[in-house]
Amino acid sequence: MDLAEARYRMPAQDARTSAPAARREALVVHADLRWPTGTGIYNVMEAYLSRAPSHIEVEPLAVEGGVARPFTPLALTRALKGVSSRDGVFWNPGFVPPVPTLREHCASVVTVHDLTHRHFYSRAHRLYYDHVFRWFYRRCAAVVCVSEFTRNEFLAWSGMSPDRVHVIVNGVDAAYAQNRETLDYPFPYVLYPGNRRSYKNLNRLIEAFSASGLAQSGVRLVLTGSPDEALIDHARRCGSEASLVFAGVLPNDAMPKLYRGALFLAFVSLYEGFGLPILEAMASGVPVLTSNLSSMPEVAGQAAMLVDPLSVPDIAAAMKRLAEDRGWRDELIARGYERVTHFDWDASAATLWSLVDEVGHSAR
């Protein structure tokens, strides 16, 4: 479906109540729906759009330029020209707010997934956040954060009123729990799914895998995406180049199969606003190794093996145990199945649209 032309409705009941949705006052939600397919924000956006209650009509904004460029806030404001609080609400499933204006305009609800741009990008990114975005966020009617960790960090940085900053956690696609197939790799493997940014800690992951001795027993380390010469060179220096496998760019329907076939997930990032692969692995019946930093302990609870991501020996020891201790693996799998029940897209969508509804109708 073309997002530029679509309007999203849920045909039957309102997701928040058993009362017929037709009795609720209609609300138009103007949204930037240009987030690229395959990104985390796109997946979150689709989960919410597919669960929009019937009285909410989501109108894609015609926005010029990139989806997250320095001038995107201005482009959003231009696209919203003439849209007042009587005409609906602006919602961005990503992190970009519009430029506040002195004239009447519609209220804004923006989702902040993390503050990685302040920590792991350029000095220019940090300055832009500190001197531009911070002011823009303060003018939003509501900001949604995906974890308590992100909310606490956002509040400390932004100075925004706590009653306008809300936690709505991500869910996990039902396809992961429903799937029973694998991609039939002819070897056991440890899985890392995700991008290659510096805070993902892939050099230490490769070093730990090399030190764990798993490669000598035929286990491979599988990374999503295309081959990366820098990572290959690093694996070569560590003596594990032959055990490094790149799965390529996979379609969404292949990802549950990739997870299901893994020995365990190795997600030892230095920073995450949420950490969705943790839940995707748990829903797939796969043990999880993750970091004891930022949001990851919050998401994992007691259902994962937590390590110091700065310690290669700690990561290596945990990898070895997860590969060899069948009882520990089974215990983590059972805990994981229980843990994912706390992260439900239906519940999160009901909360999100309830918040948007409240903002829209209170602004009229």
The H-or-E segment that residue 47 falls in is helix 40-49
Domain that holds residue 70: 21-171+344-362
Examine residue 16 and state whether it is found in any structural domain, yes or no.
no
* CATH code of residue 221: 3.40.50.2000
Are 352 and 322 found together in one domain?
Answer: no
Cα–Cα distance list, 309 to 78, 130, 267 (Å): 43, 28, 9
- For the cut 80, the answer to whether the pLDDT of residue 310 exceeds it is yes
Are 161 and 199 found together in one domain?
Answer: no
Looking at residue 112, its pLDDT comes to 97
Looking at residue 328, its pLDDT comes to 97
Confidence of residue 333 (pLDDT cuts 50, 70, 90): very high
Looking at residue 364, its pLDDT comes to 66
Looking at residue 7, its pLDDT comes to 34
Which amino acid would we find at residue 313?
Answer: P
How many structural domains are present in the chain? Answer: 2
Q: Kindly compute the dihedral angle of the four CA atoms of residues 99, 104, 106, 107, in this order, to the nearest 10 degrees.
A: 70
In the three-class reduction of DSSP (H, G, I as helix; E, B as strand; rest coil), residue 50 is classed as coil
Q: What is the average pLDDT score of the chain?
A: 91
Examine residue 6 and state whether it is found in any structural domain, yes or no.
no
d(CA 162, CA 155): 7
**Residues 269-297 pLDDT 10s:** 999 999 999 999 999 999 999 999 999 99
Are 27 and 166 found together in one domain?
Answer: yes
- For the cut 70, the answer to whether the pLDDT of residue 2 exceeds it is no
Cα–Cα distance list, 229 to 62, 116, 282 (Å): 39, 25, 31
Are 271 and 337 found together in one domain?
Answer: yes
Confidence of residue 8 (pLDDT cuts 50, 70, 90): very low
**Residues 224-235 pLDDT 10s:** 999 999 999 999
Examine residue 46 and state whether it is found in any structural domain, yes or no.
yes
Are 301 and 249 found together in one domain?
Answer: yes
Examine residue 9 and state whether it is found in any structural domain, yes or no.
no
Are 123 and 36 found together in one domain?
Answer: yes
Closest CA to 265 of 182, 179, 184, 190: 190
Are 218 and 104 found together in one domain?
Answer: no
Are 244 and 212 found together in one domain?
Answer: yes
